[in-house]
Each structure stands twice: as C-alpha cells, then as structure tokens.
Amino acid sequence: MRKISANWILPINSSPIKKGTLICDDQGTIQDILTEANRPPDVEQLDGMLVPGFVNTHCHLELSHLKGIAPSGTGLISFITKVVQNRDHDSSVILKAIEDYENHMIENGIVAVGDISNTSDTATQKAKGNLYYHTFLEMFDMMDEAQADQTFKQYDEAYNKFATHSKHKISAVPHAPYSVSPKLYELINAKNKANEITVSIHNQESLAENEYVKFGTGAFKTLFTSFGVNLEGFKPIGKNSIHFALQHLDSSKKTLFVHNTQSSREDIQAAIDWGQEVFWASCANANLYIENRLPDYQSFLDAGATMTIGTDSIMSNWTLSVLDEMKAILKYKAYLNFETVLEWATINGARALGFEKQLGSFEIGKAPGVNLLTQEDAHAISINEHTKLSRVI
C-alpha cells in the first residue's frame, strides 16, 4: 500500500484537494482519497500536483522509425508524400523504434493510446500489455470502389494479428473523408457492428481537403492524380469534407474526429447533432509541425464539444507527450485554462477510447496511473513551459 501526498491532488471528477493523500494498493488501484484533515501517518510527501495518467487519443506508433524524415512547416501534401516514399524499412528498425517510443510515452505519463495502424507492426509490442491501447486499423481505397473489397481483405489480415488482451480494443476505421469510398465504409461498418468500440477518422486537416470534397479540385486532386489513383468514381458533394464522413459513418458508434483545424462552427454542430457520442482529438504540436495552424478551440467550446488530446506520430511532432500538447495549447490559446485542458488530457480521452471505468480520474477502484507535475511555484494549479512531469505510479 502507498500513501502519496502532494500540495494538490486533482481528481478531475471533483474539486482539487489541497494537501490531500492518495491511498493506492500495489497494483496502483485507488483505495481512498483523503483530505488534509484525515491525513494518515507515514505519507510520501511530494512537491507539486498529482494528476491521473494521460490518455493520448491519436498516435501512429508504427511510424516511429520515420522521425525527422519530413521537415516541419512544409504542409500536409508534402508530408503525405514523404510517408508514402519512406515507410518501408528493415523490420528490426521498425520494431526497435516502436518499443523506444512506447517507452517514451510511458516516461511522459501516458497510460492509454488511441493508435492508428495500417499494418500489424505494433502487435507484438502491444501484446506486452504495458499500456492500454485502442488500435484503429485504418483503411483507405482512395475513393476507388473497385478496390474496396481487396483493400478490406488486405487490412483484415492485419486486424486478425492483433491478439486480444484485456487492456486492448480494436476497430476498423476509415482514414479520412477524402480517401474512403462508400463501399469501403459499408465493409468497415459491418466489421464493427457487434463490437463496443470507437471509430476514429482524420478530419479537415487542411483547406485542400475541404476543397477536394466540396468541388473535386485543388492540391489533393493533383496529388492523387500523381499517385495514379482513379478518381472517376468520386462525386464532389458541395459541402466541407466532414459531411462526406457523416453520410457514411455509423452514427451509433463512438466517433473520434482527429485534427479538425479547418472545421467550421457549422461542421462541428452538424457532427454533434449527427452522432450519439462524438469526440474531437486535437494534436496541436503536429498541426504546428505540418500546417502551422491550430483549430479554433473557441468554436468547439461554444458547441459543448468533448475535446481530447493526441500527439500524432513522432514523424510529425517533437515529442509524444500529452503534457507538451497541453503546454502548446495553453501557450497559443491563452483563453483556455489548465483545468479545462487537463480534462481533455484525462477523463475525456478515457471516455473517447472506452477506458473510463479504469482510467481518467482519481476515483476509488480505478488504477489510472499517477503523474506528478512540478514547477517553480509548487502551490499553483497551473502549468507553464517549464513544468516537469515524473511518474509516481
């Protein structure tokens, strides 16, 4: 049994507790949360804030070996081209990078990951059970319906390589509104039908994406044509790209829209009205890395949207750290406050991935992980760019 006290405990689902104490068993399961008045003897006294383990709702762990391959600031089209050109490497290189960056996430206080996989490269590492994972087996046929069946079959093989583990979930997911044909959406929806899972989709990451789905023109058309993709089957819909996804996704599933840097107020509201449970993943540093633009968070707040935080891949970021994402968001969007963004990083992410019974808040019976945040002013409930994290549990 451990008795851990700090200047503040932030349970997330209730108010901060000044000089409180967490009582945890050896597995990290919370047995009790005590106020200063009920402080037991022999506590471990720490300086700073205790917060639950972080949930990273959007990552591509299998791309970890590509760190540094795409320079920052060159835009999404250039980035996609680099991924396609450089994915293949010796499998020992790929597996070592996956292991290294899982460790990196653990050191950065992350306890659960929503992980996009186009291959089964991460299956062995995930099977070790070091983290909770919701694997999103991601499919795309570049809107060419003739490719849908074969595409689905090819990815389904990878799907079956992910061993079932009590800390893991898996779903089939579409890549993005502009890259999946209606037929492939149908196959994906049928695959997920009986399962209690989340469906994730990259959404509105660039202006070119909206333009392509709306009018069928622009940089995406040029890119796909250069890849030799058959674009004849795609009919532009005259609306922003998220609407194409809403027409074809299963609205009864938890749905996680990722990036959303070009989502308008109307787009956000349309998605919230459409789905039973809609979540939004913000990957601030990756947005700054690739397109140098952040989402309009105020629009999401005004719509009552449920926000979460992702890191994206280490290919499009400097670290895989939810704390670094929070720092970036609070640096550039000072109208947001730390406690709001901390909810995004913990309980909202846990709900988005379906791990809210185990993770996301300090509640008796949960084992959410325990992070200590420290900075110069050890009594403040806030963070700044110098805030440091250490894992307590």
Distance separating alpha carbons of residues 243 and 201, to the nearest angstrom: 12
For residues 282 and 387, which CB has a smaller minimum distance to Zn ion in the complex?
282
Q: How far is the CB of 281 from Zn ion (least distance, A)?
A: 9
Q: C-alpha angle with apex 125: 249 to 156, nearest 5 degrees? A: 35
Q: Which stretch binds Zn ion (CB under 5 A): 130-138, 221-229, 312-320, 348-356?
A: 312-320
Which residue's Cβ lies closest to Zn ion?
312
For residues 187 and 256, which CB has a smaller minimum distance to Zn ion in the complex?
256
What residues from 327 to 356 belong to the interface with Zn ion (CB under 5 A)? Answer: none
Other beta carbons within 10 angstroms of residue 102's beta carbon come to 24
Distance separating alpha carbons of residues 95 and 128, to the nearest angstrom: 13
Q: How far is the CB of 278 from Zn ion (least distance, A)?
A: 18
For residues 312 and 356, which CB has a smaller minimum distance to Zn ion in the complex?
312
Taking a C-beta distance cutoff of 8 angstroms, is the pair 370, 52 a contact?
A: yes
Three-state DSSP state, 124: helix
β-strand partners of 254: 198
Q: What secondary structure does DSSP assign to 165-179, as a single string?
A: -TTEEEEEEE--TTS
For residues 291 and 312, which CB has a smaller minimum distance to Zn ion in the complex?
312
Please report, to the nearest 10 degrees, the dihedral formed by the alpha carbons of residues 242, 305, 166, 3 taken in order: 150
Q: How far is the CB of 139 from Zn ion (least distance, A)?
A: 14
Contact partners, residue 130, CB within 8 Å, separation at least 6: 102, 106
Q: Which stretch binds Zn ion (CB under 5 A): 175-183, 308-316, 332-340, 343-351?
A: 308-316
Taking a C-beta distance cutoff of 8 angstroms, is the pair 45, 5 a contact?
A: yes
For residues 349 and 369, which CB has a smaller minimum distance to Zn ion in the complex?
349
Q: Which stretch binds Zn ion (CB under 5 A): 7-15, 92-100, 159-167, 310-318?
A: 310-318
What residues from 72 to 101 belong to the interface with Zn ion (CB under 5 A)? Answer: none
For residues 144 and 312, which CB has a smaller minimum distance to Zn ion in the complex?
312
Q: What secondary structure does DSSP assign to 302-338, as a single string?
A: HTT-EEEE----GGGSS---HHHHHHHHHHH-TTS-H
Taking a C-beta distance cutoff of 8 angstroms, is the pair 52, 38 a contact?
A: no
Other beta carbons within 10 angstroms of residue 134's beta carbon come to 24
265 sits in which H/E element: helix 265-274
Q: How far is the CB of 104 from Zn ion (least distance, A)?
A: 17
How many residues bind Zn ion, per CB under 5 A?
A: 1
For residues 19 and 67, which CB has a smaller minimum distance to Zn ion in the complex?
67
Q: Which stretch binds Zn ion (CB under 5 A): 173-181, 230-238, 272-280, 309-317?
A: 309-317
Q: How far is the CB of 54 from Zn ion (least distance, A)?
A: 18
Taking a C-beta distance cutoff of 8 angstroms, is the pair 21, 5 a contact?
A: yes
Q: How far is the CB of 140 from Zn ion (least distance, A)?
A: 12
For residues 60 and 366, which CB has a smaller minimum distance to Zn ion in the complex?
60
For residues 178 and 362, which CB has a smaller minimum distance to Zn ion in the complex?
178
Q: How far is the CB of 258 from Zn ion (least distance, A)?
A: 6
- CB-based burial of residue 370 (10 Å sphere; 0-12 exposed, 13-18 middle, 19+ buried)? buried
Q: How far is the CB of 37 from Zn ion (least distance, A)?
A: 47
Q: Which stretch binds Zn ion (CB under 5 A): 14-22, 70-78, 138-146, 304-312?
A: 304-312
Question: 56-75 as b/e, with b when 16 or more CB fall inside 10 Å?
Answer: bbbbbbbbbbbbeebeeeee
For residues 33 and 242, which CB has a smaller minimum distance to Zn ion in the complex?
242
Q: Which stretch binds Zn ion (CB under 5 A): 26-34, 240-248, 305-313, 347-355?
A: 305-313
Q: How far is the CB of 116 from Zn ion (least distance, A)?
A: 6
Q: Which stretch binds Zn ion (CB under 5 A): 292-300, 311-319, 332-340, 365-373?
A: 311-319
Instruction: Give the interface with Zn ion as residue ranges (CB under 5 A).
Output: 312
